């Protein structure tokens, strides 16, 4: 619990669209806090520490700004990390606890990521970016699109998001196959999918979509060997986490047209460096990690953040994040 005698300094990080103060009632903290919003991203550790030193509370948007031990131990004023979503693997919760810093989270909904996944699938299958650009240039039709009906969707990870992606696939008349390290046949069938071996999924699927939690055992779980198995007409979608796919292998597969294309919303380094090949590869659609960037989710994130800060100031229970 914080002392309420003097206003606490709150930093809202990585508010790229400058909307944090508009999507929650921060006036509830009036007189008890001073809020500073940062719209840019700082990746240099020394510069980040210098920026954050004055603040008792830091509001972080998902994993945009990691807070490892090396950063936390240099922030003597920090008392509360208010993260968006229930979990945040980029925060060293154990280190925060050692330094007496509370870490809290918020509610979350995965439906927006499901919706973006299908938007990207449609964009790839019907070549929408190029067709749109053609009309804007004064041209007309460029390509012949692909049907979804009758195609096979391979889902890597049939959890909360993957299972909803599978549900939509059935509406388009697609067959669904699935694989993950712990998936059982019964679980797959419950969601209308057929459990297959990992290699079989990459050989059979017309579209592969990835929906795994990033962990030590899933980093690079899709490598050159999996990409080599894919049909040259197949597409790969990643709205989960960039490091699940070995980046160099995917760049090579796309440049050499080993697969038809990919749609990516997440990357190993974010924001994506200006000279990164994903910014220029013609058969890749790239979006700036917007899977969860919707008004409804942001209202939940920032609304719960305000509630968490108020509860912390008042010594009341908050949504504590587990490490």
Q: Mind listing the pLDDT tens digit for each residue in 167-217?
A: 999 999 999 999 999 999 999 999 999 999 999 999 999 999 999 999 999
Q: Is residue 318 in some structural domain? A: no
Asked whether residue 218 is domain-assigned, the answer is yes
Report the alpha-carbon angle 131-135-138, nearest 5. Answer: 140
Question: Mean per-residue pLDDT for 25-52?
Answer: 97
Question: Would you say residue 305 has pLDDT above 80?
Answer: yes
Q: For the chain, what's the residue count?
A: 323
Q: What is the pLDDT of residue 323?
A: 58
| pLDDT for residue 236 is more than 90 | yes
- Angle (nearest 5°) at CA 312 between 82 and 94: 50
The question of whether 98 is a catalytic residue gets the answer: no
DSSP secondary structure letters along 184-231: -HHHHHHTT-EE--HHHHHHH-SEEEE-----TTTTT-B-HHHHHHS-
Mean pLDDT over residues 29-54, rounded?
97
Q: Does 323 map to a domain? A: no
Domain of residue 52, residue span: 8-108+294-313
Domain membership flag for residue 320? no
Question: Does residue 319 or residue 101 have the better pLDDT?
Answer: 101
322 in any annotated domain: no
| Whether residue 289 lies in the annotated active site | yes
Which of 270, 276, 299, 319 is an active site residue?
270
Domain count for the chain = 2
pLDDT tens per residue across span 267-301: 999 999 999 999 999 999 999 999 999 999 999 99
Is the predicted pLDDT of residue 8 greater than 90, yes or no? Answer: yes
pLDDT of amino acid 319: 80
Q: Which of 62, 289, 304, 307 is catalytic?
A: 289
pTM: 0.94
User: Do residues 131 and 65 share a domain?
Assistant: no
Are residue 246 and residue 163 in the same domain, yes or no? yes
Q: Does residue 319 form part of some domain?
A: no
* 244 shares its domain with 97: no
Separation of alpha carbons 204 and 240, rounded Å: 21
Q: Is the pLDDT of residue 221 over 50?
A: yes
Residue 28 is part of a domain; what is its CATH number?
A: 3.40.50.720
| In a shared domain, residues 121 and 103 | no
Active site annotation includes 304: no
């Amino acid at each position: 619990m914080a002392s309420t005698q003097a206003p606490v300094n709150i930093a809202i990080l990585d508010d790229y669209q400058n909307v944090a103060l508009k999507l929650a009632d921060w006036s509830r903290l009036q007189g008890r806090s001073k809020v500073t919003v940062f719209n840019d991203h700082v990746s240099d550790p020394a510069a980040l520490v210098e920026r954050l030193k004055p603040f008792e509370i830091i509001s972080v948007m998902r994993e945009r700004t990691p807070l490892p031990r090396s950063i936390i131990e240099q922030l003597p004023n920090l008392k509360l990390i208010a993260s968006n979503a229930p979990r945040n693997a980029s925060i060293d919760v154990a280190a925060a606890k050692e330094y007496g810093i509370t870490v809290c989270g918020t509610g979350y909904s995965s439906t927006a990521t499901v919706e973006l996944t299908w938007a990207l699938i449609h964009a790839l299958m019907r070549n929408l970016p190029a067709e749109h650009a053609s009309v804007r240039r004064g041209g007309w039709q460029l390509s012949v699109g692909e049907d979804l009906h009758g195609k096979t969707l391979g889902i890597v990870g049939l959890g909360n998001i993957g299972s909803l992606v599978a549900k939509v696939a059935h509406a388009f008349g697609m067959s669904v196959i699935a694989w993950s390290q712990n998936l059982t046949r019964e679980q797959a069938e419950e969601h209308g999918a057929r459990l297959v071996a990992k290699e079989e999924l990459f050989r059979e699927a017309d579209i592969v979509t990835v929906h795994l939690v990033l962990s030590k055992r899933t980093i690079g779980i899709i490598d050159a060997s999996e990409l080599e198995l894919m049909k040259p007409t197949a597409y790969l979608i990643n709205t989960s986490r960039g490091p699940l796919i070995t980046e160099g292998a995917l760049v090579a597969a796309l440049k050499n047209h080993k697969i038809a294309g990919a749609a990516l919303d997440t990357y190993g380094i974010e924001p994506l460096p200006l000279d990164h090949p994903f910014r220029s590869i013609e058969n890749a659609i790239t979006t700036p990690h917007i899977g969860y960037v919707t008004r409804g989710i942001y209202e939940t994130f920032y609304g719960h953040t305000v509630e968490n800060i108020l509860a912390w100031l008042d010594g009341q229970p908050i949504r504590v994040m587990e490490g």
